[in-house]
Structure 1
Amino acid sequence: MKHPLREHIEEIIAVTDDEFDFILGHFSPLQKRRHQFLVEEGKIADKEYWVVKGCVKSYFFDEEGKEHILQFGMENWWITDYESFVTQTPSKIYIDCLEDSELLYITHENREKLTSQMHKMERFWAKKSKFGRIALQNRILSLLKNSAKERYNVLLAQYPQLFQRVPKKLIAAYLGVSRETLSRLND
């Protein structure tokens, strides 16, 4: 049975056994319990995480203390504060675990080393970045042009398992609606 990270990587690029061992050598495993932080606002996000098992969220609080969910991360998803990770400046967001989670992480330093020594991985992350930008563009377009009901239906169609794993108040925060509005959208 192949390592799940290898299966994930091979969705984009082919790697040999030796190449995968080299890649995996740049990652470290991490276990986090529910409510533990991966990234905290004000601290440098020096790791990028790949979710092996579990569910995490990235978010921030506005001036009134309202929580805004930027992203959820489930199995096979990558997550960090990318601005902080790339620029090595303090994070503007939090990322914490919604469930007990198993993760693999790569440090900024190890990612730089890996991509300079193995151009296949540079191509892998370039493609993952492109897919991420497309997803972000679609999320922004949805927030700007779709009704709350349309946003709800798209999220439900794309990620039905999310509704079983994430509290409704967090789904509401992701969709940019109140908990009460979300309840009406469910009906």
Structure 2
Amino acid sequence: MSYSFLRQHLSEYGSFSDEASEVVQAHFTERQYRRREIMIRQGERVTTCYFIVSGLVKLVYTDDSGKDHIVSFAREGWWESDFAAFFGHTGASMSLITLEPTKALTLSNTSYRTLCHEVPGFGQFALEKAHRGFIGAQQRILSLLTTSAKERYQRLIQNDPQLLQRVSKTQLAAYLGVSRETLSRLQL
């Protein structure tokens, strides 16, 4: 099931032969994670990125005072990692934590580079995913800088109503950049 989901995901961005798909699949490892399991720990070296097959994870930055700032949520069909650390071969500035039991296909940095060089179309696929990620990140930053908490909440309800059913109010507040109390007022 996991690898067929990956194959389907790849086919949405280009045509991969059966042989190429098998080569790609051979570079991934399937992993199961329990709820609240740390996939990437802030400060530790990052050598893996994750394709989420099932479940939900959060990418979170914990500041010096211990406050969590949720950078993103990733669910089925999404890729996640601390990409600056993954590509820069450095320690993570953020943690990746499961919010639900999660099944992921892991891809090492070495395998990622191998696939980009050796499998026709994989590099283009990775570039397309990166472009979409950059665009999403820029839109999120602009939203945090230029819209009110109420507007961000309404936009989330409009664009991603299922997320509201899968995350706690505390985590939702951390993602929106508001206090739990402010979120409660917005939900009235």
TM-score scaled by structure 1? Answer: 0.97
| 2:139 alignment partner in structure 1 | 138
Q: How far did 1:119 drift? A: 3.4
CA distances 1:101-143 after superposition (whole Å, capped 9, x unpaired): 0000100011111111013100000000000010001000000
Matches within 5 A, 1:1-187: 3-187=4-188
**What is the letter of the counterpart of residue 37 of structure 2?**
Q
Instruction: Name whichever of 77-86 and 56-65 sits farther off.
Output: 56-65
**What is the letter of the counterpart of residue 109 of structure 2?**
H
Instruction: Name whichever of 77-86 and 13-22 sits farther off.
Output: 13-22
Instruction: Name whichever of 10-19 and 28-37 sits farther off.
Output: 10-19
**What is the letter of the counterpart of residue 53 of structure 1?**
S
CA distances 1:1-54 after superposition (whole Å, capped 9, x unpaired): 981111111111111211111111110000000011110011111000000000
**What is the letter of the counterpart of residue 68 of structure 2?**
E
**What is the letter of the counterpart of residue 105 of structure 1?**
T
Unaligned regions of 5+ residues in structure 2, if any?
Answer: none
Query: Could you say what secondary structure the match of 1:124 adopts?
Result: helix
Q: How far did 1:66 drift? A: 1.1
Quote the Cα distance in structure 1 between the aligned partners of 2:17 and 2:117: 18
Aligned-residue RMSD, C-alpha: 1.2
Quote the Cα distance in structure 1 between the aligned partners of 2:186 and 2:84: 34
Q: How far did 1:63 drift? A: 2.1
Query: Could you say what secondary structure the match of 2:161 adopts?
Result: coil
TM-score scaled by structure 2? Answer: 0.97
Query: Could you say what secondary structure the match of 1:138 adopts?
Result: helix
Q: How far did 1:182 drift? A: 0.4
**What is the letter of the counterpart of residue 73 of structure 2?**
F
Aligned residues: 187
Quote the Cα distance in structure 1 between the aligned partners of 2:155 and 2:10: 27
Q: How far did 1:147 drift? A: 0.5
